[in-house]
Amino acid sequence: MNEKDVPALLALFAQQSSENALLIMDPAGAIVWCNGTCERLFGYPGSELRGRPLRSLFTPEDADKRIPEYELHVAAHSEDVNNDRWMLRADGSRFWATGNTVGLRNKEGKVTGFAKILRDSTDVKEQLETLRNQLKSVADSDQHKTRFLATLSHEVRNPLSALASGVEIMRQQPAMVSDTLGMFERQLKHLYRLAEDLLDVARISTGKVKLAFQVHDIREPIANAVESVSPLLAGRRHRIDQHILDVPLLVRADPIRLEQVFSNLLANSAKYTPEGGQIELRASTGAGEVWVHVIDNGIGIPPETLPHVFDLFTRGDSASAQATDGLGIGLSLVREFIELHGGSVQVRSDGPGKGSEFTVRLPLADATDRMATSYNTPRSTDTSVDAAQPES
Ligand code: ADP
C-alpha cells in the first residue's frame, strides 16, 4: 500500500465510519452523496437524500433564520465551521448534531462543493442539560438560603430590640412593668415559634419528625387554630366566616400538627390580606376525604409564584415588599406535614389583588379506625351527630 491508495481508503473510511455521518453537497447546497451512517441517522434511504437541499435536514426554526445558508456561506469564505445544533430526522424527531462543514476548493480556490461531517450527541447534550439544571437548582437554593439568613437576622433582631427597649422602659419607669411584661411575652412567643419552625424544618430534612397519630375530629384542631390566630385576625380587623360541616369529621392524624397547619394557613391569610378583609374557612367531606379550604380576599399570588409557594424559603415579592414577618418556611411545613399524613395541599389564586385559596385534603379515618376508637363528641356547642350512627 502506498500514497496513491489513500483516496480509495478515504472513500472506504467515509463509507464505513459507523459514528460519523458524512454528506457531500454541490455549491448550491444540494446533497450529492452521503454515507450509510447518514442514512441511518436521518432515517432516509440514500436515494431520498441525494438531490435534497441540505436545509431540509434543519429544524424549521433554524431554516427560518436561514442558518443553513449562513453555514455554507461561512464555510465557503473562511475555514470550516463548527456547528452544534438540533437537526431533523425523516420522522420529525430531533437529535443534537455536533460536527462541522468544510468548503471544498479546487486548485484555483473556487468552491466546488461542501462536506459536512456530524455525529449524534443527543446523550451528551442531555447529560449537559441535566448537569446545568442541577447546577441551577444548587445556585437557586444557595440564593434562597442567603436570602433566608438575611430575613432570619431581621426576624430575630426585631423582637430582640423590642425586648431591649422594654428593659430600658422598666429601668426608667418602674410603673410600666406590667405593660412591658405583656410585650415581653408576645415577643418571646414569636421567637419561640420561630425556633420551633426552624427545628421542624431540620427534623423534616433529616427524617426525624415524630407524628402522634390518633383518630380525632378534625374540627378540634381547626377550632384551636382559629382561636390561636384570633388576636391576629382581630388586630387586622378581618372577618372570618366558618362553614364547617356539622358532623364529626374523623381523621387519623396528629392533632397538634394539624392545628399548626391550619394556624399557618389562617395566619398567612391574615398577613396577606389588607386590613378589614374577609377570610372564609370551610370544612366538608367527599370521596373518602376531608376537605378544608382557607380562602381570603387579600393580595393574591402572581401566576409565576404559584408553583413555588410551597418551596422552602420562598417568599413572594409582595411579602418582602410589605415587610411582613415570616421566613418563607410556613407553607413548606404545611405541605410536608399534610403529605406525611397521606394528604395533599393545593393553592389557587386568580392573580395579584384577587385573593387566595388553600385546600387541604386528608383521608377520612376508615371504619376500623372508627371502631377502635372510643370517640366522644368534643364540642358541646356543636349539634354534632356521628355520621356513622345517625340519631334515632
Ligand atoms: P412567609 O413566612 O413568607 O409567610 P410562607 O411559606 O408561609 O412564608 O409563604 C410563602 C409565600 O407565599 C409568602 O411569602 C407569600 O408571598 C405567599 N403567600 C402565602 N399565603 C398567602 C396568602 N394567603 N395570600 C397571598 N400570598 C400568600
Which atom from ligand 1 is nearest to the alpha carbon of 309? 12
Q: Which residue's CA is minimally distant from atom 15 of ligand 1?
A: 316
What is the pTM (predicted TM-score) of this model?
Answer: 0.62
- The CA distance from 89 to 97, in Å, is 11
Neighbouring residues of 22: CB distance < 8 A, sequence distance ≥ 6: 14, 34, 35, 37, 38, 115, 116, 117
Asked if residue 355 has its Cβ within 6 Å of ligand 1, the reply is no
Q: Which residue's CA is minimally distant from atom 16 of ligand 1?
A: 316
Asked if residue 22 has its Cβ within 6 Å of ligand 1, the reply is no
112 close to 27: Cβ distance less than 8 angstroms? yes
Q: Which residue's CA is minimally distant from atom 21 of ligand 1?
A: 268
Q: CA-based angle 337:342:344, to the nearest 5? A: 70
**Which fold does the domain 214-372 belong to in CATH?**
Heat Shock Protein 90 (3.30.565)
% of the chain surpassing 90 pLDDT: 60
Query: Separation of 206 CA from ligand 1 center, angstroms?
Result: 24
SS3 for the chain, per residue?
A: CCHHHHHHHHHHHHHHCCCCEEEEECCCCEEEEECHHHHHHHCCCHHHHCCCEHHHHECHHHHHCCHHHHHHHHHHHCCCEEEEEEEECCCCCEEEEEEEEEEEECCCCCEEEEEEEEEECHHHHHHHHHHHHHHHHHHHHHHHHHHHHHHHHHHHHHHHHHHHHHHHHHHHCHHHHHHHHHHHHHHHHHHHHHHHHHHHHHHHHCCCCCCCCEEEECHHHHHHHHHHHHHHHHHCCCEEEEEECCCCCEEEECHHHHHHHHHHHHHHHHHCCCCCCEEEEEEEEECCEEEEEEEECCCCCCCCCHHHCCCCCCCCHHHHHCCCCCCCCHHHHHHHHHHHCCCEEEEECCCCCCCEEEEEEEEECCHHHHHHCCCCCCCCCCCCCCCCCCCC
Q: Which of 204, 324, 331, 358 to mutate to test the pocket of ligand 1 (most atoms within 8 A of CB)?
A: 331
Query: Separation of 204 CA from ligand 1 center, angstroms?
Result: 20
Reply yes or no on whether the pLDDT at 384 is more than 60: no
SS3 for 120-176, per residue?
A: ECHHHHHHHHHHHHHHHHHHHHHHHHHHHHHHHHHHHHHHHHHHHHHHHHHHHCHHH
Asked if residue 328 has its Cβ within 6 Å of ligand 1, the reply is yes
Q: Where exactly does CATH 3.30.565.10 map onto the chain?
A: 214-372
Q: Which of 148, 315, 325, 333 to mutate to test the pocket of ligand 1 (most atoms within 8 A of CB)?
A: 315
Q: Which of 268, 279, 280 to mutate to test the pocket of ligand 1 (most atoms within 8 A of CB)?
A: 268
Reply yes or no on whether the pLDDT at 268 is more than 90: yes
Q: Which residue's CA is minimally distant from atom 17 of ligand 1?
A: 316
Q: Where exactly does CATH 3.30.450.20 map onto the chain?
A: 3-120
- CA distances to 95, 210, 289, 321 from 253, in Å: 50, 12, 13, 36
Reply yes or no on whether the pLDDT at 324 is more than 80: no
Asked if residue 316 has its Cβ within 6 Å of ligand 1, the reply is yes
Please give the pLDDT value at position 25: 96
Q: Which residue's CA is minimally distant from atom 14 of ligand 1?
A: 315
Least confident of 202-211, 300-309, 364-373: 364-373
Q: Which residue's CA is minimally distant from atom 2 of ligand 1?
A: 326
Confidence of residue 360 (pLDDT cuts 50, 70, 90): very high
Give the mean model confidence (pLDDT) for residues 9-18.
80
**Which fold does the domain 3-120 belong to in CATH?**
Beta-Lactamase (3.30.450)
Confidence of residue 373 (pLDDT cuts 50, 70, 90): low
Give the mean model confidence (pLDDT) for residues 275-302.
96
Length of the chain: 392
- The CA distance from 267 to 284, in Å, is 21
Q: Which residue's CA is minimally distant from atom 4 of ligand 1?
A: 326
Q: CATH number of the domain at 127-205, out of 1.10.287.130, 3.40.50.10860, 1.20.1250.20, 3.30.1450.10?
A: 1.10.287.130
Query: Separation of 381 CA from ligand 1 center, angstroms?
Result: 33
Query: Separation of 309 CA from ligand 1 center, angstroms?
Result: 7
Asked if residue 35 has its Cβ within 6 Å of ligand 1, the reply is no
pLDDT tens across 42-86, in order? Answer: 999 989 999 999 999 999 999 999 999 999 999 998 877 778 999
Please give the pLDDT value at position 314: 77
User: Which residue has 427545628 as its cell numbers?
Assistant: 199
Please give the pLDDT value at position 383: 28
Give the mean model confidence (pLDDT) for residues 326-342.
91
Asked if residue 314 has its Cβ within 6 Å of ligand 1, the reply is yes
Q: Where exactly does CATH 1.10.287.130 map onto the chain?
A: 127-205
